[in-house]
């Protein structure tokens, strides 16, 4: 056999091996997670054939709570390990690739979790696997990818990451031309989980429980009454004015140098029922550069459910501080429970001149209820020149009160939301009153 023939035979034998190696070069057979006390938002690129929580984690993390959002149940499923009982409880049984998990380390020291097993065969990530709307997303590949490798498909897409060093969410949104605005992070990491909002992809199909999951259901020995987490899991809330009127104009031009957005919480501190007194607390702040806040519009993400920050039910508003100390404020609104975004907030007055602060309303005004007809809730913007107790009522066509709520509001502009829970289809009268002011409007409910 001559040398040339030997080289040809070796080439035929070796090339397929090299191709297989190249295809698998960015996956591994084990993965190490570095977990900090408190919440960690993670994914599992590598798992064994038997990925039960008891088999993969066992007692390695001490006292710990693990939660994953179930889109079918529309709530979190949770498993908790107690070192006192040396046992797991809850209704979360299996770990899976492509699933996002909150791992809440309940002790005071960092933990290391080494997992060995079989990685998923590497495939290039595409958005169309995630489906429409808000998703808890975990990568299914074995290496980091730059955001530029997975461009967005819609101007309203947003990608949110948990920054465990700051205990808050950070986000990247979409610039004109469908490119990610990569200020807060630039890579998608294989062991980090994300929350993503997409607008134009089909929803994925979800199969029935596996035999292994049915077997592991025996772990559920001491579930909480509602199978809910004992701890408030951090939640992102996207706010902004991207679809609203720009707020940062100066002599007809977009402000140079960007602006600062301050998130203010309105707190009732004293006063009588008809003369409430308020304090305003600064709870978050973000600087918007001209590149991020194109045309005076912006989008930012808040962190809800933090120890000393915001929770559902808080009433907040935005202060915008522009060039020369100019300042304006948005309508206030209540942080919704279980939602990841709010409709774009409105700014009654734009930033128009340096060193000018927007004035408070001089008269009561109420916008038309929107939407009407509504099937879950409608909203109105309410301008109040003074602080006071505001009463919201809903009457049926026979004049009977079907909903009534009182809320203390400071002077300024507020967004008020009225829910349609328990209503029958039909026409209703919406009434808003504060002091001697009273406003009525028709609104229709349609399931």
- For 74, the domain range is 30-118+214-219
- Count of structural domains, the chain: 3
- Alpha carbon distance 243, 225 (integer Å): 42
Does residue 425 lie in a domain region? Answer: yes
Q: Helix or strand or coil: residue 5?
A: helix
Integer Rg of the chain from CA: 27
Residue 308 and residue 251 share a domain: yes
Residue 275 has phi, psi (to 5 degrees) of -140, 65
Asked, for residue 190, whether it belongs to a domain, the answer is no
Assess if residue 347 is contained within a domain. no
The answer to whether the beta carbons of residues 358 and 327 sit under 8 Å apart is yes
**Dist. CA 137–CA 141, nearest whole Å:** 12
pLDDT in tens, the chain (447 residues): 455 544 444 443 443 333 333 344 445 588 899 999 999 999 998 888 888 999 999 999 999 999 998 888 888 889 999 999 888 988 888 898 888 999 999 988 999 999 988 776 555 556 656 667 888 888 877 778 888 888 887 777 889 999 988 889 999 888 777 788 877 888 889 899 999 887 754 444 444 555 555 555 555 444 444 545 567 889 999 998 876 666 766 554 556 667 888 999 988 887 766 677 888 889 888 888 766 665 677 888 999 987 668 888 899 999 888 777 778 888 889 998 888 888 888 888 777 666 566 677 888 988 888 888 888 888 888 888 888 889 999 998 888 999 998 888 888 889 888 888 888 899 999 999 988 899 999 999 988
Q: Specify whether 249 is located in the same domain as 321.
A: yes
- Residue 241's alpha-carbon distances to 138, 247, 324, 333, 343, in angstroms, are 29, 9, 22, 14, 8
Q: Are 130 and 59 in contact (CB under 8 A)?
A: no
Task: Report the SS3 class of residue 317.
Answer: strand
Of 193, 219, 245, the last residue of a domain is: 219
CATH of the domain at 437: 2.60.40.1930
Among 219, 253, 281, the domain-final residue is 219
- The residue behind tokens 């791992």 is 103
Residue 76 lies in a domain: yes
C-alpha distance from residue 442 to each of 80, 201, 373 (Å): 50, 37, 10
Which of 219, 250, 280 is where one domain is finished? 219
Residue 423 lies in a domain: yes
329 shares a domain with 271: yes
Residues 409 and 330 in one domain: no
The whole-angstrom separation of Cα 215 and Cα 95 is 14
H or E segment at 440? Answer: strand 437-445
């Amino acid at each position: 056999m001559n040398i040339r023939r030997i080289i040809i035979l070796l080439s035929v034998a070796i090339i397929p091996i090299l191709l297989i190696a190249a295809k698998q070069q960015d996956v591994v057979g084990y993965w190490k997670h570095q977990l900090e006390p408190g919440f960690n938002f993670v994914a599992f690129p590598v798992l064994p054939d038997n990925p039960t929580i008891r088999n993969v984690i066992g007692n390695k993390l001490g006292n710990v709570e693990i939660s994953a959002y179930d889109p079918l149940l529309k709530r979190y499923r949770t498993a908790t390990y107690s070192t006192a009982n040396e046992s797991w409880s809850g209704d979360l049984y299996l770990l899976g690739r492509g699933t996002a998990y909150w791992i809440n380390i309940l002790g005071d020291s960092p933990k290391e979790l080494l997992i060995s097993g079989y990685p998923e065969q590497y495939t290039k990530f595409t958005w169309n696997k995630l489906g429409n709307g808000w998703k808890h997303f975990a990568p299914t590949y074995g290496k980091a990818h730059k955001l530029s490798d997975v461009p967005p498909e819609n101007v309203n897409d947003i990608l949110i990451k948990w920054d465990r060093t700051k205990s808050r969410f950070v986000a990247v949104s979409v610039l004109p031309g469908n490119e990610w605005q990569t200020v807060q992070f630039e890579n998608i990491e294989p062991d980090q989980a994300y929350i993503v909002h997409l607008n134009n992809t089909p929803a994925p199909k979800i199969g029935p429980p596996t035999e292994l999951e049915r077997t592991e259901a025996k772990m559920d020995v001491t579930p909480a009454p509602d199978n809910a987490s004992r701890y408030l899991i951090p939640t992102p809330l996207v706010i902004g004015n991207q679809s609203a009127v720009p707020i940062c104009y100066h002599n007809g031009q977009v402000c140079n140098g960007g602006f600062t957005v301050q998130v203010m919480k309105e707190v009732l501190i004293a006063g009588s029922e008809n003369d409430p007194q308020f304090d305003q607390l600064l709870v978050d702040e973000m600087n918007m550069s001209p590149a991020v806040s194109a045309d005076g519009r912006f989008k930012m993400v808040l962190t809800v459910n933090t120890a000393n920050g915001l929770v559902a039910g808080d009433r907040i508003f935005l202060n915008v501080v522009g060039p020369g100390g100019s300042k304006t404020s948005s309508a206030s609104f209540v942080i919704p429970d279980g939602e990841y975004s709010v409709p774009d907030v409105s700014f009654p007055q734009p930033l128009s001149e340096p060193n000018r602060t927007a004035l408070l309303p001089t008269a009561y005004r109420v916008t038309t209820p929107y939407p009407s007809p509504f099937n879950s809730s409608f909203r109105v913007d309410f301008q109040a020149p003074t602080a006071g107790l505001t009463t919201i009522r809903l009457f049926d066509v026979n004049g009977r009160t079907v909903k009534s709520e009182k809320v203390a509001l400071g002077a300024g502009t507020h967004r008020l939301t009225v829910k349609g829970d328990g209503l029958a289809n039909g026409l209703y009268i919406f009434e808003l009153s504060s002091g001697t002011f009273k406003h009525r409007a028709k609104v229709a409910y349609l399931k």
